[in-house]
Structure 1
């Protein structure tokens, strides 16, 4: 059996170009795998603490997943732009392609928001109850906007200023969040609040999108973790990936890169904890301390991957993550669609998800382990589909 697994892993890895940065592919695959795992428990009532988001201030490992993906997008932008420049592709053509990609990501996000139907409620009307109340922001929507904004900075900004852009956007966001006053519908004036539903980011999203089109119906303002204002520091997170890619492209020795990235990552984590006494670590607000923390962990993990894969040559373990990472957006869309189908399609008075969890996994493993078992089962099912696409050579490039 182990021999077959080794042959399987070798077959996947041998198909990769020799100049491919396997550490990036493995990190991308691990990140999207973790994202799907935490998004699909058997029951939202039974989730182990590390597999759910912090309630507000603070963080869990789950809070690091999305910024890891944003960081990797930044790495990919820098590597891709470098290759396109080498092939003489005009800057305008790169921008045009990037704009199309942003629009596609936004449309895919809206598709997932609209892919819903309540079969159990005879009064449910998709047009009025779903389309007219569709959540406008979202994960893919933010990814698209952040990707395109970062691409423009990379194409039109001097390389030596990328760090300045990242710091400047975080400073601008902090000043707006803490110093710009705002008022609710009753004329009550606020400034510098960092509470759920009461902060400048929530006020702006409520004003622009309206309460019905946001994630949380909080008070005094509806709010969204992927809202407008917090996109500014998310761009900073993406730019840190760009800067990391610049260093990876340098002529420094592998060992030097590993030590420098790991050391820098640990320093950023410490700085994040120090800054959190002034600006709390908060994912929904994507605070600057959160940018430092997530970037620090991303750099440290990437350094570990470089050490394991390129220095110690432990490569076979990356094969499943390469498969997942090669079709990351397709994986995300497939998981989103299938999760909704499993929870929506009625089988008697149950859904597919309910049958699997409550009638099979929960009795076997208990509440929490059964919920985790469902997530792992969903992940295995997804892997079969992604592996089939990988073998066919079907790579969905948005």
Structure 2
């Protein structure tokens, strides 16, 4: 059994497309795997604490997943450009814009891919099309990718550092000092509350209360992937660009790993130190959250490089490579599958709820059953992605 598993892992690594950084595919796979795992419990009523997002200020392990992926987008941007920054920038920008648009459209597709078959009064026009959520995970990736690409093409290392710091400072200044008011004429400034911040006000005014995720928030409906928080999200992506520059330097790998670990520890320490004054908040994507999430991503990358390149321990990474090479396809297929489970009616409920209540919950209990449902969903997804991987099918946006 063990030998068969080892042979399976060797075969997977042998099929990894050439010219790719193993550690990057591993971490990308880990991030997207964790994202799918936490998004698909058997029941949202029974989810272990670490698999939930922080309610507001503070953080859990789950809060670090999406920003880690954003950092890796930045790493990929720099590695994919190589020495082409000075060559045909207009063409690179055009291709980048098309890619960003595709990501945005894919995000909208996932939003629209739903119909409530159990409700005869359900109106797809009124309850989906006319209340379309404009932003989400893939939409944010697309916007952040394109903005970061522009910065990379038109600035050097010093400029990128200035952009990273400047975006965080600009975001903080707008959140802390820009006055705003609600419909009743109440004036506010410098608040970082749920539904009451300059970022929430901006989403409410420009996106509309019916087109965001937190539609019932008061006094302002807002989106966790909203407009203003895109600025520090770009800063997170730029941190990935700087990490990629370190990886492509002529320094020894051991030196690069030490720098990654040092920067990671210092970033996390500063974020936690400043947290009482400027809270760590994933939904607002605060500057301290940029430091914290980028710091932990640097630590993970350094540790992965040490394991795979210095120690030569690679077999463990094979399943993650399957996910990481085809991350967007995995996210899309998992999203479609999850929506199908929530749409198909079975015995007065949905197929997903029926499977949890009749199989996983009686066998494993509430919390373990909910987690078991997510794990089985992930394992089935792995089989689908493994089929694509072995046939060389990589979905490129």
Q: Which moved more, 1:157-166 or 1:330-339?
A: 157-166
Q: Distance in 2 between matches of 1:132 and 1:83?
A: 45
Deviations 1:222-279 (A, max 9, x none): 0110000000000000000000000000011111111111111000000001111211
Determine the structure 1 residue equivalent to 2:375: 376
SS in 2 for 1:133: coil
Q: What RMSD, in angstroms, separates the aligned Cα atoms of the two structures?
A: 1.1
Give the CA deviation at 1:19: 4.7
Deviations 1:116-144 (A, max 9, x none): 11111111110111100111111111110
Q: Distance in 1 between matches of 2:27 and 2:148?
A: 20
Alignment TM-score, normalising by the size of structure 1: 0.98
Q: Which runs of 5+ in 2 are unaligned?
A: none
Determine the structure 2 residue equivalent to 1:16: 16
Determine the structure 2 residue equivalent to 1:282: 281
Deviations 1:355-384 (A, max 9, x none): 221101101111000000000000011111
Deviations 1:312-363 (A, max 9, x none): 0000111101100111011111111100101110022132211221101101
Determine the structure 2 residue equivalent to 1:326: 325
The answer on 1:120 being equivalent to 2:118 is yes
Determine the structure 1 residue equivalent to 2:102: 104
Contact 2:15 2:390 in 1 (8 A): no
Determine the structure 2 residue equivalent to 1:208: 206
Determine the structure 2 residue equivalent to 1:77: 77
Q: Distance in 2 between matches of 1:90 and 1:391?
A: 35
Q: Distance in 2 between matches of 1:256 and 1:233?
A: 28
Alignment TM-score, normalising by the size of structure 2: 0.98
Determine the structure 2 residue equivalent to 1:199: 197
Q: Distance in 2 between matches of 1:18 and 1:160?
A: 31
Q: Distance in 2 between matches of 1:120 and 1:211?
A: 26
Deviations 1:152-201 (A, max 9, x none): 00001122221111011000000000000000001110000111000000
Q: Distance in 1 between matches of 2:18 and 2:307?
A: 17
Give the CA deviation at 1:83: 5.5
Determine the structure 1 residue equivalent to 2:3: 3
Give the CA deviation at 1:18: 5.9
Q: Distance in 2 between matches of 1:333 and 1:83?
A: 31
The number of equivalent residue pairs is: 396
Determine the structure 2 residue equivalent to 1:26: 26
Aligned pair partner of 2:183 in 175, 182, 185: 185
After TM superposition, which residue ranges in structure 1, 4 or more long, deviate above 4 angstroms? none
Determine the structure 1 residue equivalent to 2:51: 51
| Mapping of residues 1-398 of structure 1, within 5 Å | 1-16=1-16, 19-82=19-82, 84=84, 90-216=88-214, 217-398=216-397
Q: Which runs of 5+ in 1 are unaligned?
A: none
Q: Distance in 2 between matches of 1:354 and 1:136?
A: 28
Give the CA deviation at 1:15: 2.3
